[in-house]
Amino acid sequence: MTARRIIPCLDVRDGRVVKGVRFKDHVDMGDASELAARYRDQGADELVFYDITASPEGRTLDYDWVSDIARLLDIPFCVAGGIRSVDQAARCLDHGADKVSINSPALERPDLIGEMSDRFGAQCVVLGVDSKRAGDDWVVHQYTGDPTASRGAGRRTLDWIVEAQGLGAGEIVLNCMDEDGVRRGYDIAQLQATRACLTIPLVASGGAGAADHFRDVFQQADVSGALAASVFHSGVLAIPDLKRQLEGDGIEVRR
């Protein structure tokens, strides 16, 4: 296993980073460029930027904004938000993004995953999956950036991630909606079930509130990366301190 990745996530609306709880009640956390520079300097391994209203509003993200971020960063970053075609994904990569993430558009047209993988290589294609518990199972939701548009996608989470892997996705980011913003730890059971279905990298998202939560998800769910937002935006946890603690716990991280 390669070094585990620490990945701050920036949910962006009108150039500002926002954060909610369980995908609702978003509050302003600061300027996207300023936060990106802070995490770059602190030693983040990657950054992920979600234009959270792009898909619900039927538009794609701002390519000029992607260029601005690319000029600022010297670490890999991924962008997401209303990417519905190979050409739109290509423009994101041409403007400096290292990866593109698709979510609701892939649910609308799963072949998009394979088309992007064939054109750019699987390493550039990330599938975001917004997943919520339903009894003893988990189901996929879409358009989650807008609480008024969010709805079930009619798919079981584990079925969808297996299908996406087969279509050519290079990485899965599993957003566990029930834990989002709650800071009580990652959904280990769901991530373990997902990890068991995959041969491609899995990134955990939703629930980080302390350094121990990162340790647990790496040790117990064997994820490649851990994505978090509010715990970093609020200053509760600094990335250098987190990496030192993970190293002390015997987990390999990039320094």
Of 181, 164, 182, nearest to 173 by C-alpha is 164
Let me know if 136 is a catalytic residue.
Answer: no
The catalytic residue among 45, 130, 180, 216 is 130
Let me know if 130 is a catalytic residue.
Answer: yes
Of 197, 248, 214, 225, nearest to 47 by C-alpha is 225
For residue 131, CA distances in Å to 41, 48, 103 come to: 32, 18, 11
The catalytic residue among 11, 51, 180, 187 is 11
Query: Bridge partners of 23?
Result: none
Instruction: Catalogue the active-site residues.
Output: 11, 130
